[in-house]
Amino acid sequence: MEFLSRLLSCFSKRESERICYSRNTTNSSRKKHSSTLSERNLCRHFSLRELQLATKSFDQTSIIGIDCFGIVYKGCTNNGATEIAINRYKKEDYTRWLHTFKNEVQFLCQLHHPNLMSFIGFCDDQNELITVYEFVANGSLHDHLHRPNKAEPLSWRRRLEICIGTAHGLHYLHTGAKIVIIQRDMKTENILLDKNWMPKIASLNLYKKESDTDGMSKTKKLVGMNSRHVGTTGLIDPEYAVVGKLTEKTDVFAFGLVLLEVVTGKPTSRQILEENDIDRIMDPFLKEKTAPECWQT
């Protein structure tokens, strides 16, 4: 835990100012019509036909991911000039998720940061619920740390740059948006890397922080159609485990686990978390390629 605390201190940033938000936002303001979103240039309203053309009619060869909520396809638009990731939810869930989908689109199109997955647009034609994001070419940080394809290990410099970029993205969610946003599922699988190795926080299952009349903080689900476990299985923010309330600290703790995984090159376990001897847990590749003084604090 001591080593993890030292890692976190390297990335900590004082929050000098928090952007305030109004609690008087009406329900109608959050339920904008899809045409209104397009007219305001917040995002693109794709037709189903456009996405069929982009994916060869949702051909199996275009599939890049599957989960219990739907299928993710890789596609091309703008005459092949732009690669996109197309998240197509199951059609049988249309009625169940339509309201949530509208809120998700309304909110995601207002988030803009180089270290967040760029939300491009959506499709709600013919009982379809589809969201469209930028496509990132280099997979996830998890893939490169654990190298299932035996790829070249990431250098320490590159790992550090990825961690710093990810910290910037989290800082934006906590302080730079119109409301305080909690990512809730920060892990290496949800840090994607573009062709220039810039990290992009993905799977934005977002919660907003509010305050009760007694001043106590609480959270309210904002967007995201799933209800996943908070953080890494078996290793969650101790404060959340006791109190049951999501805060920015939940993300910070999870980010600390990401840092530990980056340094060790191994999935984080309680044994690793409690180990204070860096030489025993460091990724052997880093030990060979970095000078000892790089690890002094």
| Catalytically annotated residues | 185
Q: Return the closest-CA partner of residue 120 out of 10, 222, 12, 46.
A: 46
Q: Exposed, middle or buried: residue 249 (CB in 10 Å: 0-12, 13-18, 19+)?
A: middle
Q: Return the closest-CA partner of residue 145 out of 290, 282, 7, 6.
A: 282
> What angle do the packed helices 156-171 and 248-264 form, to 10 degrees?
170
Determine the residue type at 204: L
| Cβ(175)–Cβ(18) below 8 Å | yes
Size of the chain in residues: 297
Residue 209 β-bridge partners = 219
Read off φ and ψ for residue 78, nearest 5 degrees: 55, 50
Alpha-carbon dihedral angle through residues 190, 195, 197, 200, given to the nearest 10 degrees: -30
Q: CA 190, 153, 195: angle at the middle one, nearest 5?
A: 55
**What token pair was written down for 140?**
């996830």
DSSP H helical segments within the chain, as ranges? 2-11, 34-39, 48-54, 94-108, 141-146, 156-171, 238-243, 248-264, 270-273, 278-281, 284-289
